[in-house]
Structure 1
Amino acid sequence: MQPALASDRVVAIAGAGAMGSGIAQVAAAAGHRVQLFDANASAVAQAIAGVQAAFEQLAAKGKLDAAAAHAAQARLLPATTVNDLAGSGLVIEAIVEDLAAKQQLFRDLEARVSPDCLLASNTSSLSITAIAAGLKSPARLAGLHFFNPAPRMPLVEVISGLITDPEVTGTLHSTMLAWGKTPVMARSTPGFIVNRIARPYYGEALRLLLEGASDSATLDAIFREAGGFRLGPFELMDLIGLDVNLAVSKSVWSAFSNDPRYAPSLIQEELVAAGFLGRKSGRGFYTYGEGAPVPQANSLPTQALPASPLVFADAPLASALSKRLQARGLPFQHADTSPDGRVAEAGGAALYLTDGRSATERAARKGVANTLIVDLALDYDSATRLAIAAAQQCSPAALAAGVGLLQAAGFAVSRLADVPGLAVMRTVCMLANEGAEAVYQQVCDVPAVDQAMRLGTNYPRGPLAWADQIGLKQVRRVLGNLARSYGEDRYRISPLLAHKVFSRTRFHA
């Protein structure tokens, strides 16, 4: 392992915006003298004042010793020109996401800093190889992708370009550890790890909205209350900014030669064209500001618990149903084996976990008209909401009975249109498939996928660990059925996922 950058080496930050000032705070707290440079001199003064105020607040809250806070404040120094950065041991660029601008800055830096000075870009989407291409020594440049806000977000992606010296990335990895961060190593491909693997979280939700599966508030509630995500996809896009999220989607889509996996959504394009950018503009998928309505999820009206419901076997959903009904003292019957994979029966309804087919198709193929499909949950024992879909052949009485069973077990029930794979299942399978593809293409390893998505996006579980929990055969089945239902290459299965299924191995031993 390469040693970290010595604490007596100066760290320079080029770009005094939110990311640049956040990185400056991290470096100063770690003991480095920090030079902050920006083409706008007033931005430098404002950024330093902001970081110093942040240290004061940390000291006031008892999160940082007062003497340490004052010492960190004193380590923040303004730089008025690129020449002032000549003595740096590490320069981190955090300027506008423009390839030409970044290339020019690094050419200017290379002409001034010492040969042993490390160069790093905080780009979130541009190729590290392309940024380094204009340098005389491109091997000295790597990516250091911090997440906003940099002082609080633990993850940093350490990215290698095509010819980045491994000693450079090794030193940067060790330096991030010394700064208290959790670094993950990645190869420079579109979106790196997080911005690439996260695309299905937005893309599948937008497709569900486009198909009329439900409204944004209901879908968000399903992802939170069943999927365990901190924010639903529409809430998150409004928070990020629809224009920013769309730009990343377009960048990844373009970089992958318009691969349908990453295709941007017409809905998002229309909202951005209208100036509805989310929280910052007062309107996105939701409306913000004083007097704005509070979004409400649609839940089905309460139905009675049918007589003598039957719960089959001990799959996660069946097991949770049994425990939740028993805890409420409600009568039900239990069977050890299921005739066709159904989870439960209630009042003529047969409940199945989604396998990527619509309820209507499954009813036709199984010859079970009263088919209800239930969505995935992170933990059926603690979930408060479940999504369902009913086959077109299903009778209203059977639908009411199935809903009554789930409600009696303590779930709020949201009915979606009969879309293949429902919401959480199709999205988690797509996230896992994208993670598998990143590993297959040698962007990163399996632990990096799960660590990056938990720490960089606050996912409740790493997508590959989640796939192991669902069962890789089931994940493959869902994706295959989605591909057949839509007839699109979007849902093609990663060769690595297929290999794991055929070899009966898991992503995590």
Structure 2
Amino acid sequence: MTANANVRPGSDEPSADAAGPVDPSRAVAVVGTGTMGQGIAQVALLAGHPVRLYDSAPGRAAEAVAAVGGRLDRLVEKGRLDAAERDAALARLHAADALAELAGAALVVEAIVERLDVKQRLFADLEDVVGADAVLATNTSSLSVTAIAGGLRLPGRFVGLHFFNPAPLLPLVEVVSGFATDPATATRAYETARRWGKTPVRCTDTPGFIVNRIARPFYAEALRVHEEGVADPATIDAALRESGGFRMGPFELTDLIGQDVNEAVTRSVWDSFHQDPKFTPSLAQRRLVESGRLGRKSGHGWFSYAEGAGRPEPHTAAPAKAPERITVRGGLGPAEQLVGLVEEAGITVVREEGETGGIELPSGALLRLADGRTSFERPQEKIVHFDLALDYAAAGRIVLSAREGIPAEALDEAVGLFQALGKQVSVIGDVPGMIVARTVAMLVDLAADAVERGVATAEDVDTAMRLGVNYPAGPLEWGARIGFRRACSLLIQMHKRYPTGRYAPSVALARRGYAEPAEESR
């Protein structure tokens, strides 16, 4: 192994003064030449590094070099890169025919098959090749960084460097510290990713890291609502897009990702957490995978992608007459914005003090924001629940639910009220927590729990969820907006109806909730 000034005297481990970014004059090696490997190589190449691509399959590295060259050509055609920069980059890009050719690399990033034994063998071989100052990194999305490094002589220089696909476009990189990762190594990886123009976040080695751990409820709650038979996939997607502000609904998104891929990640996180009910996979999704309906890549998933197949439409209520007057009893919490919108629509609003927290319609029906309860539990009351929205002014759709047998007049008034605000309305079955509210509450719960357990800081959690999966707000930001006490209360109510532990709020969420003044949750 080569001597290096950054190694502590008497030790083979890198020292703290090695914590700056990898110098652009030093080579970066990428092992694995699939889509992700090529993307990471492109990022390092355009940051100025010499890059060596290696693949165990003969000829694959040379093919990847040509593919990266094609990517750079397209950037030139689009005016995002000038020809001289492309030529200089291509001169720094080389295919390696043997692992020994990576000897001079300052950073090696692995992007091979997601098998622990294969990755362990690779890094054991790399230890015999690279210098003691080299950082070894895995791009794994599902395996334990600690386990991959478990057999290394120098596990302190090993770190997770999880890019998101496509790596050249998506800014987020999760920098994952295993149990034995030296802090200087994690800092060096973090600073390198930042120098490459990425937005890195730090996290500890936990199943799913930040994004794949916290994102599970976005899929799971939609699947649960569908499994209960109260709403179809197109309507659930529309609710989360048009009311929740998410870029895509979970059914169309899993069709894009691949049902097999999404279900495998869910199952991996569930198994890694010893089958914690908060991460329980969906039987409906399992049946979809078993049937071969994997999404866009197979031509059929939740939706059909056959030629000429139309996009399924969400359930939308027929036009109804708006009430001329409503009474707002108590505070509406995160739905308080509705009062001004109703007044702007020319509907008279009467305010009355109290703890009810709802909108009384002329028929005597009460509109209540989803709180984890169902309306069938109070058959003597005419309760119509409406769902949470990220921004009620911007929302294009509002979802309502009510028990069977509620007077048609009451439901029509509720539909007409929101239609008068310019919203489309979907009416679904009577389900606790509705769609957006229960999803957001679960995201907030998992985020709060991750922060309290030291997985990542609150800022890094919110950054990761905004950039990694394009959420309209970070879950902790959203929790502060709606009230942690309200989110906790909703989950407590849902836990009463589903006493499996899935909805039992974490101690972290309860702690945040009870730290808030009670009136904020009304």
User: Which bracket does the TM-score occupy, shorter chain normalised?
Assistant: over 0.9
Instruction: Give the distance between the partners of 1:309 and 1:37, measured in 2 at CA.
Output: 68
1:267 is aligned to 284
Native 8 Å contact 1:93 1:121 kept in 2: yes
2:132 is aligned to 115
Identity of aligned residues (%): 47
Matched, 1:211 2:223: no
1:466 is aligned to 478
Task: Pick one of 358, 365, 372 that aligns with 1:356.
Answer: 372
Tell me how far 1:309 sits from its aligned partner.
2.8
Instruction: Give the distance between the partners of 2:55 and 2:362, measured in 1 at CA.
Output: 66
2:108 is aligned to 91
Instruction: Give the distance between the partners of 2:352 and 2:153, measured in 1 at CA.
Output: 69
- Specify every segment of 5 or more residues in structure 2 that has no aligned partner in the other structure, as ranges: 1-16
Paired amino acid for 1:383: A
Map of 1:198-277 to 2, 5 A cutoff?
198-277=215-294
Q: 1:51 to 1:9 in 2, by over 3 A?
A: same
2:118 is aligned to 101
Matched, 1:331 2:347: yes
Tell me how far 1:42 sits from its aligned partner.
3.1
Query: Which deviates the most, 397-406 or 304-313?
Result: 304-313
Residue by residue over 1:454-493, the C-alpha shift from the partner in whole angstroms, topping out at 9 and shown as x without a partner, is 0000000000100100011100100101111111201121
Instruction: Give the distance between the partners of 2:393 and 2:330, measured in 1 at CA.
Output: 16
Native 8 Å contact 1:454 1:460 kept in 2: yes
Paired amino acid for 1:183: P
2:311 is aligned to 294
Query: Which deviates the most, 58-67 or 117-126?
Result: 58-67
Tell me how far 1:157 sits from its aligned partner.
0.3
Task: Pick one of 399, 418, 437 that aligns with 2:449.
Answer: 437
Matched, 1:483 2:499: no
TM-score (norm 2): 0.93
Native 8 Å contact 1:453 1:462 kept in 2: yes
Describe the SS at the equivalent of 1:386. Answer: strand
Q: 1:318 to 1:83 in 2, by over 3 A?
A: closer
Tell me how far 1:394 sits from its aligned partner.
2.1
Instruction: Give the distance between the partners of 1:306 and 1:499, measured in 2 at CA.
Output: 41
Query: Which deviates the most, 304-313 or 84-93?
Result: 304-313
Native 8 Å contact 1:159 1:187 kept in 2: yes
1:340 is aligned to 356
Tell me how far 1:336 sits from its aligned partner.
4.8
Describe the SS at the equivalent of 1:36. Answer: strand
TM-score (norm 1): 0.95
Describe the SS at the equivalent of 1:360. Answer: coil
Describe the SS at the equivalent of 1:159. Answer: strand
Native 8 Å contact 1:307 1:347 kept in 2: no
Query: Which deviates the most, 226-235 or 350-359?
Result: 350-359
Task: Pick one of 70, 74, 86 that aligns with 1:57.
Answer: 74
2:163 is aligned to 146
Matched, 1:409 2:421: yes
Residue by residue over 1:354-400, the C-alpha shift from the partner in whole angstroms, topping out at 9 and shown as x without a partner, is 11111222x35xx5x21100100000011010111113452111111
Native 8 Å contact 2:486 2:513 kept in 1: no
Query: Which deviates the most, 405-414 or 170-179?
Result: 405-414
Paired amino acid for 1:353: L
Matched, 1:322 2:339: yes
Residue by residue over 1:7-28, the C-alpha shift from the partner in whole angstroms, topping out at 9 and shown as x without a partner, is 1110000000000000000000
Query: Which deviates the most, 336-345 or 485-494?
Result: 336-345
Q: 1:376 to 1:318 in 2, by over 3 A?
A: closer
Describe the SS at the equivalent of 1:489. Answer: coil
Native 8 Å contact 1:311 1:334 kept in 2: yes
Native 8 Å contact 1:159 1:192 kept in 2: yes
Matched, 1:170 2:187: yes
Tell me how far 1:312 sits from its aligned partner.
4.8
- Specify every segment of 5 or more residues in structure 1 that has no aligned partner in the other structure, as ranges: none
Tell me how far 1:345 sits from its aligned partner.
2.2
Instruction: Give the distance between the partners of 2:495 and 2:375, measured in 1 at CA.
Output: 16
Tell me how far 1:314 sits from its aligned partner.
6.2
Instruction: Give the distance between the partners of 1:470 and 1:419, measured in 2 at CA.
Output: 20
